[in-house]
Structure 1
Amino acid sequence: MGALARRYLVLYNVAQACGWLTVLAKASRASLDDATGAYDACRSTLMVFQLASFAEIAHAVAGLTPTPAAAALAQWSGRTHCLKCALDAVKTSHASVAATALVFAWALTEVVRYPSYVGGLIGRSPKWLTWSRYTVFVPLYPLGAAAEMKLMYDARAHARKTKMYAVTMPNAYNFAFDYVTFLNALLVAYPFLFYTLYRYMFAQRRKKLGKAKEN
């Protein structure tokens, strides 16, 4: 990797770490007053930094990071869909327990993940940070996935009532789309997609922490 690319990635990951730390701080502060107010308190910051993480797909395509581009796209699109369509578009879900769980699961994961990337890029990643990177996902990934599924499940009623994102025929493109059906299919597929990611992360944990022990 060239020096310029490395500097760019360091700056990108530092910015993301700061952004997610801000999300965590805002959500934590709001939760002290109202346990269900976390999402609205950090909504704008969360939206900006989640959408900005689209850059990680470009990083993968350009070969700047070893992450497969398809995996980066799947993770980004899954998160962004849940955030924009199943949560933000359904106002009644903003104050739900699932919304609060999602905010904290995502933020706690990212405030460890991005600093870990920075440490790796500059060659100064302490063992405790590497251990945290490959350990905090164990409880947080299932929590985040469960919150995402609950939000999508709850969004169906709103989507059915308002015909949200529905495309009906006849139309010029001879195409129809029912968002409720899409959500139902996604909810069936989600556990299998999560299992694939979770198993991959455990394989990475064995690889990374095994190396840390050897060092």
Structure 2
Amino acid sequence: MERSKARRPFKDQYLIAYNAVSVVLWFGVVGRTLLLLPLVGHENVYAGVGNYTKWAQTLAILEVFHILLGLLRSSFSTTLLQVSSRILLVWGVCSPFEQPKSSFFYSTMLLAWGVTEICRYSYYVTSIVGRTPAFLTWLRYNTFYVLYPMGAGSEALCIYRALSEARSYNEILYWVFVGILVTYPPGLYNQYTHMIKQRRKNIRGKKREK
């Protein structure tokens, strides 16, 4: 009886498992990228980590449904924007076209994404468990100052490098990519200001409570 009372709700068990798996997957992305860069050069990083990254990122589609089902209380629009833009990058830009996948910016994109996600998912796991180390809170709400511009800039440059190939493949696709590039400045501003608000709430707010 005591054991059943102490058992976590299924919702918490599921979210702990999902976030823990995501931490492991993104450690794989970062680890492979760092290993491959000096061994094979940035031109060949995609061959060793590209497919793995596609599926690691595709798993994040579940987060949109987590919000719709009420499992998470995150911003739906912000989550949808981030997930959909990354799905576009891994499946629609870097997978079919050679220029972005052989670019150095592909590797910097993966590193920015990977470190961000390791911090984010680790923070979520410990938050659900109820034991979040102070250093992890600091990483979650400070590293974005560098990693968000690094990630968004790398994404934009990968799309930019895909333009010539996209135009050869389909003129409409070329203009779709151009239109997406135009959305990057306001999109980054939206993500940046959202995280600044979250930082204020989760770091400054806790300091005031003390």
TM-score, scaled to structure 1: 0.89
Q: CA deviation at 1:89?
A: 1.1
In the other structure, the counterpart of 1:125 is 132
In the other structure, the counterpart of 2:123 is 116
Name the SS of the counterpart of 1:88 in structure 2.
coil
Q: Is the 8 A contact 1:39 1:103 kept in 2?
A: no
Rounded to whole Å, the distance in 2 between the matches of 1:10 and 1:182 is 37
2:191 aligned with 1:197 = yes
Q: Name segments (4+ residues, structure 1) moved above 4 Å.
A: none
Larger helix share, 1 or 2 = 2
Which residue type is aligned with residue 60 of structure 1? I
In the other structure, the counterpart of 1:4 is 10
In the other structure, the counterpart of 2:146 is 139
Rounded to whole Å, the distance in 1 between the matches of 2:121 and 2:47 is 24
CA deviation string 1:76-96 (max 9, x = no partner): 111110121111111232221
Which residue type is aligned with residue 195 of structure 2? M
Q: Is the 8 A contact 1:127 1:212 kept in 2?
A: no
Q: Is the 8 A contact 1:159 1:179 kept in 2?
A: yes
In the other structure, the counterpart of 1:206 is 200
Rounded to whole Å, the distance in 2 between the matches of 1:183 and 1:45 is 24
Q: Is the 8 A contact 1:90 1:158 kept in 2?
A: yes
Rounded to whole Å, the distance in 1 between the matches of 2:68 and 2:151 is 26
Aligned residues: 201
Q: CA deviation at 1:118?
A: 0.2
Rounded to whole Å, the distance in 1 between the matches of 2:140 and 2:47 is 27
Residue 21 of structure 1, aligned match among 27, 43, 54: 27
In the other structure, the counterpart of 1:68 is 75
2:99 aligned with 1:92 = yes
Q: Which runs of 5+ in 1 are unaligned?
A: 167-177
Which residue type is aligned with residue 30 of structure 1? L
Name the SS of the counterpart of 1:9 in structure 2.
helix
Rounded to whole Å, the distance in 2 between the matches of 1:38 and 1:54 is 24
Rounded to whole Å, the distance in 1 between the matches of 2:47 and 2:108 is 13
Q: CA deviation at 1:38?
A: 3.0
Name the SS of the counterpart of 2:94 in structure 1.
helix
In the other structure, the counterpart of 2:64 is 57
CA deviation string 1:62-105 (max 9, x = no partner): 11111122222111111110121111111232221111111111
Rounded to whole Å, the distance in 2 between the matches of 1:44 and 1:189 is 27
Q: Which runs of 5+ in 2 are unaligned?
A: 1-7
Q: CA deviation at 1:187?
A: 1.1
Q: CA deviation at 1:34?
A: 3.3
Rounded to whole Å, the distance in 2 between the matches of 1:48 and 1:187 is 24
Relative contact order (alpha carbons < 8 A, sep ≥ 6): 1 or 2 greater? 2
Which residue type is aligned with residue 209 of structure 1? I
Q: Is the 8 A contact 1:28 1:38 kept in 2?
A: no
